[in-house]
Amino acid sequence: MKVTIVGTGYVGLVTGACLAEIGNDVFCVDVDPRKIEILNNGGVPIHEPGLQEMLKRTRAAGRIQFSTDVKASVEHGDIQFIAVGTPPDEDGSADLQYVLAAARNIGKYSNGFKVIVDKSTVPVGTALQVKKVIDEELKARGLEGSAKHGFSVVSNPEFLKEGAAVDDFMRPDRIVIGIDDDDAGNLAREKMKRLYVPFNRNHERTLYMDVRSAEFTKYAANAMLATRISFMNDLSNLADTVGADIESVRRGIGSDPRIGYHFLYAGCGYGGSCFPKDVQALAQTARENGHTLRVLEAVEAVNHDQKDVLVNKIVRRMGEDLRGRTFAVWGLAFKPNTDDMREASSRRIIEALLQRGATVRGYDPVARDEAERVFALDLADRPEDIKRLHFVKTQQDALTGADALVIVTEWKEFKSPDFWHLKSALKTPVIFDGRNLYEPEAMAEMGIDYYAIGRPHVELDRNGSSS
């Protein structure tokens, strides 16, 4: 099938590559010439495991192309995926300007019946706005009501985890498709069914529903996952106070099959391109419709405060004035297997340390370049702080001579370090762990002063061992 993907970010690029992998003829378009140049030169503008290899195969097979030519992109695809960004507006609502701009271009250059697929995460009612914009453009061309230039707007939200997006697309647990119940919708349903047949070989994974319900489903899914994270983070802070171990609690409640273990890990807050934005957008949708999603308002508030928990532990242990102190920070991206720095907890934590006069040496396996770019913007008006922020190439470079280690992202390579070497590299053997990677008792036995999230702190005696 001929498919067009509008937007070459995480969602668009993964969608395009995976659809080309299974044999479709895919045209990816983007208004950013820099991205298109990178892709046409064999590079990938984002870090996503397995994506570069897939793009290399599909490019060599001639099944995927990249261009800034909007007209050619519209003329190419019978199915047009809109996969552009929907950043949060000032009030927290999703900014739909890029979605509607893409829709306008489709209406402007449409050369036959098109299925327009909203792949971007959009609030309830967006499909209607997209339809209105396309109708306006067709009317301006004198094509309104033309069967030849008909179209149907479909909601097909993505459920991709950064760091596992390729696997999630190729092995989906569900495919949600919202389609209008009319003649155009019936034709669109047949085209979408044919497109997704390869993903339904073993069993039917597609859930058909009305468009508004499909739009709502995406936000509801992310809101539920964010709620589980904030719930555990809230409990972890109480566990700190009453002396309970949040890891034991997690295992205790996760063993209940009605609850399960997923997204029950306490930490230093969620980030990324989805949860923060989608929680805000759904809460704003509720307010616009005269409702208050009280649970979701609390989820966002808890997550905001959670990003300060690790800094508060550092201050209690080492004092408010951190001038002359150096901190090694392991992990900069918001999660492992990505270089995405959007809403990353490391940004709040590092800025807080710098504000107190500390020097920071940050290390991340893949996000170093992106972190340098982001912090240059974040600290543009704080030149003295920028001078005390260094991004290093190895874990060891971060550790040597530091007063303490701060762990922010749970990369695999951080899970089993050489603790004796780590201890000798630090000026003082102190770890502040925002992801609960290690066992407090084991750390104490090695003479490491270990502070985690919602886990008991084991005091060391004067000889540096547990008491």
- Residues with a catalytic annotation lie at 274
Tell me if 265 is assigned to a ligand binding site. yes
Tokens 């890990």 correspond to what residue?
Answer: 265
Helix H or strand E encompassing 59: helix 51-60
Taking the C-alpha atoms of residue 440 and residue 447, their distance in angstroms, rounded to an integer, is 11
255 CB-near residues (< 8 Å, 6+ apart): none
Eight-class DSSP state of 403? S
Contact residues for 295 (Cβ-Cβ < 8 A; gap 6+): 227
Q: DSSP state, 4?
A: E
| 4 annotated as ligand-binding | no
Q: Does 86 show up as a binding residue in the annotation?
A: yes
Ligand-binding annotation for 30, yes or no, is: yes
Asked whether the CA dihedral 446, 452, 458, 459 is positive or negative, the reply is: positive
- Given a contact cutoff of 8 angstroms between Cβ atoms, the answer to whether 415 and 437 are in contact is yes
Cα gap 355→448, rounded to integer Å: 26
Distance CA 238, CA 246 (A): 9
2 known member of a binding site: no
* Residue 271 among known ligand-binding residues: yes
Contact between 197 and 172 (Cβ < 8 Å):
no
Q: Is 15 marked within a binding site? A: no
Residues in the chain: 467
| 412 carries a ligand binding annotation | no
The annotation status of 206 as a binding-site residue, yes or no, is no
Determine if residue 125 is labeled as part of a ligand binding site: no
Closest CA to 303 of 234, 210, 376: 234
Angle at 66 between CA 60 and CA 72, to 5 degrees: 120
Report the candidate in 133, 105, 131 with the shortest Cα–Cα distance to residue 7.
105
Flag whether 108 is marked binding.
Answer: no
Q: Would you say 119 is a known binding-site residue?
A: no
Q: Known binder of ligand: residue 455?
A: no
Asked if 285 and 243 count as a contact pair (C-beta separation under 8 A), the reply is no
Q: What's the order of all strands across the beta sheet hosting 175-178? A: 64-67, 25-29, 2-6, 79-82, 114-118, 151-155, 175-178, 206-209
Tokens of 328: 């090694």
Distance CA 185, CA 153 (A): 8
Which tokens belong to 40? 């046409």
Q: Are 130 and 100 in contact (CB under 8 A)?
A: yes
DSSP, collapsed to helix, strand or coil, labels residue 433 as strand
Q: Is 282 annotated as ligand-binding?
A: no
What tokens does 456 get?
A: 């008991």
Query: Is 223 labelled as part of a ligand binding site?
Result: no
The binding site comprises 30, 35, 86, 121, 159-162, 218, 263-267, 271, 277, 335, 342
The binding site for NAD(+) comprises 30, 35, 86, 121, 162, 277, 342
The binding site for substrate comprises 159-162, 218, 263-267, 271, 335
